[in-house]
Copies of this chain bind each other. A is one copy, B any other.
């Protein structure tokens, strides 16, 4: 999330457009993730930066565009992470398991991103739709999955036709739910899905689930 904290130049009053914008985005990300779109306060964001509210409107235009910019950067981070994916040297089963684990780790490490996605869904993904950058962002992970799946099916390890997008949805579901719904789930079932001591358990469970699905004898085939 390209955090901004240069060692504080001698006199903090130096002008630096890029730094100011990045700092606004950092703070805005936290504020939107904390309180949702309507709950977030532009004044609060401004107060937590070294600049003023005026700058938010100067650089981003308004609250709505600021939120869009926050989303664009957040999605950019995961796309970068997906581009660093390096699992194709493994055999298909190990590769998918590793991919699931990396997805699991990424979700756990970026709860703010999860919250932003939840918030964006509450608003019907209207900001993504309005964003040119996000419209055709594509997913590097999807290509990776596609290739592993093809290899696994060719070698006979994986049973029949499983779609890459569907598998991605399956893996993401569990990772997302675990982080996004941990509060209500914890309150209702008395179990903290993100408790550190349960981490390995759920990480393994996800891998087992996905591999079991991919390698099971399907009735209809």
B183 touches A173 (CB 8 A): no
Residues of B contacting A177 in the complex (Cβ-Cβ under 8 angstroms):
169, 172-173, 176-177
Alpha-carbon distance A2/B189, docked complex (angstroms):
25
- Give the contacts of A169-190 with B (CB-CB under 8 A): 169-170, 172-174, 176-178, 180-189
Q: Determine the chain B residues whose CB is within 8 A of the CB of A124 once the complex forms.
A: 183
A93 vs chain B, min Cβ distance (A) = 11
Copies of this chain held together in the complex: 2
Asked if A47 is at the interface of the complex by the 8 Å CB criterion, the answer is no
Q: Contacts of A119 on B, CB cut-off 8 Å?
A: 36, 122
Task: Point out the residues of chain B lying under 8 angstroms from A75, CB to CB.
Answer: 188
- Picked from B115, B128, B202, B208, the residue with its CB within 8 Å of the CB of A184 is B128
Interface size class of A (residues with CB under 8 A): 35 or more
Q: Tell me the interface secondary structure of chain A in the complex.
A: helix
Interface pair B216/A134, CB less than 8 Å apart: no
Is A135 within 8 A of B208, CB to CB? no
- A170 contacts which of B37, B120, B139, B174 (Cβ < 8 Å)? B174
Across the two chains, which residue of chain B brings its CB closest to A124?
B183
A81 at the interface (CB under 8 A from B): no
- Residue A125 interfacial (CB < 8 Å): yes
Which A residues fall within an 8 A CB radius of B? 35-39, 75, 115, 117-125, 128-129, 134-135, 137, 139, 142, 165-166, 168-170, 172-174, 176-178, 180-189, 191, 193, 202, 205, 208-209, 211-213, 215-216, 218
Q: Can you list 7 A-B contacts with CB-CB less than 8 angstroms, sorted by A residue number?
A: A120-B184, A128-B183, A128-B184, A169-B177, A169-B178, A208-B218, A212-B215
